[in-house]
Amino acid sequence: MIETEEKYLKISDLNEYIKCMFDENTFLRKVYLKGEISNFKNHTRGHLYFTLKDETSRMSAVMFYNNTFGLNFKPEDGMNVLVEGRISCYPSQGTYQIYVEKMEKDGLGNLYIEYEKLKKKLATEGLFDAKYKKPIPRYPKKIGIITAPTGAAIRDILSTIKRRFPICETILFPALVQGASAAPDIVRQLKKAQEFDLDVIICGRGGGSIEDLWAFNEEMVARAIFASKIPIISAVGHEVDFTIADFVADLRAPTPTGAAEMAVPTTIDTINMLNEKKIRLNAYISHTIKNKENKLVALKNNFILKNPMSLYEIKEQKLDNLLDQLNKNIKNKINNYQNKVEILKSSYALKDPLRLVEKNKNTLQNQKDKATNLIENILEKYNHKQELLINTLKLVNPLNILDKGYSLVEKDGRILNNTDTLEIEDTINIKLGKGELKAVVKEKKEWKI
- In terms of pTM, does the model score above 0.85? no
Whether residues 125 and 90 fall in one domain: no
**Which of 136, 119, 137, 138 is closest to 128 using CA atoms?**
119
Whether residues 119 and 250 fall in one domain: yes
The answer to whether 149 and 250 are in contact (CB under 8 A) is: no
For position 32, which CATH number holds?
Answer: 2.40.50.140
Sign of CA dihedral 105, 108, 113, 119: negative
CB atoms within 10 A of CB 37: 20
Q: Residue 121 and residue 134: Cα distance in Å, rounded?
A: 22
Helix, strand, coil: what percent of the chain each, to 5? 50, 20, 30
Over range 302-331, report the average pLDDT: 78
Strand 169-174, strand 142-147: pairing = parallel
pLDDT of 3 reads 54
Q: Residue 324 and residue 303: Cα distance in Å, rounded?
A: 29
pLDDT surpassing 80 at residue 346: no
**Which of 159, 167, 175, 173 is closest to 142 using CA atoms?**
167
Sign of CA dihedral 396, 399, 403, 406: positive
The residue among 207, 236, 265 that closes a domain is 265
CB atoms within 10 A of CB 89: 19
Report the domain count for the chain. 3
Task: Write out the residue range of the structural domain in which residue 434 sits.
Answer: 402-440
Q: How many CA atoms within 13 Å lie on the side-chain side of 164?
A: 20
Over range 145-157, report the average pLDDT: 93
Is residue 359 a part of any domain in this protein?
Answer: no
Q: Residue 356 and residue 225: Cα distance in Å, rounded?
A: 98
Over range 124-150, report the average pLDDT: 94
Is residue 53 a part of any domain in this protein?
Answer: yes
* pLDDT over 70, % of the chain: 91
CB atoms within 10 A of CB 272: 12
pLDDT of 1 reads 43
pLDDT of 76 reads 86
Is residue 409 a part of any domain in this protein?
Answer: yes
Whether residues 41 and 55 fall in one domain: yes
Is residue 289 a part of any domain in this protein?
Answer: no
pLDDT of 300 reads 76
pLDDT of 5 reads 63
Whether residues 27 and 148 fall in one domain: no
pLDDT surpassing 60 at residue 4: no
Q: Where are the beta strands (DSSP E) in 175-306?
A: 200-205, 232-236, 251-252
Three-state DSSP at 309 gives helix
Sign of CA dihedral 394, 397, 399, 404: positive
Q: pLDDT per residue over 153-186, tens digit each?
A: 999 999 999 999 999 999 999 999 998 899 999 9
**pLDDT, the chain, mean:** 86
Q: Residue 202 and residue 171: Cα distance in Å, rounded?
A: 10
Whether residues 144 and 257 fall in one domain: yes
pLDDT of 108 reads 57
The residue among 236, 265, 294 that closes a domain is 265
**Which of 263, 284, 211, 43 is closest to 292 using CA atoms?**
284
Whether residues 120 and 261 fall in one domain: yes
Confidence of residue 350 (pLDDT cuts 50, 70, 90): low
Whether residues 120 and 161 fall in one domain: yes
Confidence of residue 109 (pLDDT cuts 50, 70, 90): low
pLDDT of 199 reads 96
pLDDT of 140 reads 95
Is residue 335 a part of any domain in this protein?
Answer: no
Q: How far is CA 370 from the centre of its chain?
A: 76
Q: Which residue has the higher pLDDT, 301 or 265?
A: 265
Q: pLDDT per residue over 173-230, tens digit each?
A: 999 999 889 999 999 999 999 999 999 999 999 887 777 889 999 999 999 999 999 9
Q: pLDDT per residue over 32-86, tens digit each?
A: 998 888 889 998 888 999 999 888 888 999 999 999 988 888 888 878 889 999 9
Whether residues 164 and 199 fall in one domain: yes
The answer to whether 38 and 50 are in contact (CB under 8 A) is: yes
Whether residues 31 and 90 fall in one domain: yes
Whether residues 149 and 165 fall in one domain: yes
Q: pLDDT per residue over 64-78, tens digit each?
A: 999 998 888 888 887
For position 146, which CATH number holds?
Answer: 3.40.50.261
Whether residues 119 and 222 fall in one domain: yes
Is residue 389 a part of any domain in this protein?
Answer: no
pLDDT of 448 reads 64
Q: Residue 89 and residue 100: Cα distance in Å, rounded?
A: 13
Q: pLDDT per residue over 371-407, tens digit each?
A: 888 888 888 888 888 888 887 777 666 666 777 777 8
Q: Which residue has the higher pLDDT, 103 or 418?
A: 103
Whether residues 80 and 203 fall in one domain: no
The region of weakest confidence among 2-6, 63-67, 360-364 is 2-6
Q: Residue 311 and residue 316: Cα distance in Å, rounded?
A: 9
